[in-house]
Amino acid sequence: MPHHPDDNRYPHLPLILEQPNPDRRKRPAPPQPPPPRGTRSRFAGDVRDRLDDMEEELAQKPAPPAGLHPHLVFRVPLAGNASPQQIAEMLGKIGITVVSIESDKAIIAFRDDVDLSSFRQAVTDYEQGPRVNPNTGELYGSTQWDVLEYIETPQMRLWGRDDRIGHRLAGLIGDAAHSIVQDELYYLDVELWHRGTDELARAAIGELQQLIDLEAAANERVCDTFAGQLLCLARVALRGTKRV
């Protein structure tokens, strides 16, 4: 029952009328401009050169086992004043999913195949510059791809083997995995990239299961799995001969 100010039964519990105070919301700071990248043509050429390097590195990798679909994972470092969410939206338009944002703002990007042609088309559209506004006959001030200029192109690279090894495992197997015991059975916790839906998470676990089943040695198996809204995890048992 509410306490009334004239009620003397609870003098130690006075009611204080609170005056409503409208929220004063701070206006979001305007986005900071990207670092100077030179001309559109020059920067577009730098991005293409880096994509060429990544595709050449992909071509040198061994083909995946039969029945497994190759994926593309690469690291996209950003300028310090960049908005990772803005870059993620841009990449989403060209079929690339952001699966992680690192503490230094670098984006880990995932594509369900190894085709970078849509990325190259975005670079071409950026290079061509703003289109003409049909209503005014004047050029627009920018293009939707101008956010590419926040990418630190020289450091953009494929996600490599060392990136996939956690600190505990690295301490166990040593540099270049020289401390692996071939006949020992290792139990590993594997975090798979979560690509946004339960179906895709389960598909990733299925691909891991298929990979292990291809040439499973004694007691090698997927021990347990978890596919949540944000995480996709598995515990596996593998022999040292797999060169974990």
Domain match, 201 and 153 both: no
The answer to whether the beta carbons of residues 222 and 169 sit under 8 Å apart is no
Q: What is the pLDDT of residue 120?
A: 97
- Sheet arrangement for strand 185-191: 185-191, 232-239, 221-227
The answer to whether the beta carbons of residues 205 and 159 sit under 8 Å apart is no
Q: What is the pLDDT of residue 3?
A: 52
Instruction: Report if residue 83 sits inside a domain.
Output: yes
Tell me the whole-structure pTM to 2 decimals.
0.75
Mean pLDDT, each 10-residue run in order, the chain (244 residues): 54 57 61 91 97 94 78 94 94 93 93 93 97 90 95 95 87 83 90 87 91 87 92 92 59
Domain match, 54 and 129 both: yes
Where does residue 78 rank: exposed (0-12), middle (13-18), buried (19+ CB within 10 A)?
buried
Instruction: Report if residue 151 sits inside a domain.
Output: yes
**Of 139, 159, 179, the domain-final residue:** 159
Instruction: Please give the Cα distance from 155 to 164 (Å, whole number).
Output: 18
Domain match, 152 and 49 both: yes
Domain match, 54 and 92 both: yes
Domain match, 63 and 141 both: yes
Instruction: Please give the Cα distance from 137 to 145 (Å, whole number).
Output: 21
Domain match, 167 and 234 both: yes
Q: What is the pLDDT of residue 241?
A: 79
Q: What is the pLDDT of residue 244?
A: 46
Instruction: Report if residue 18 sits inside a domain.
Output: no
* Domain count of the fold of the chain: 2
Residue type, 132: V
* Six token digits for residue 122: 């975005």
Instruction: Report if residue 194 sits inside a domain.
Output: yes
Domain match, 122 and 230 both: no
Rounded (5°) CA angle 72-38-103 = 45
Full domain range(s) for residue 169: 163-242
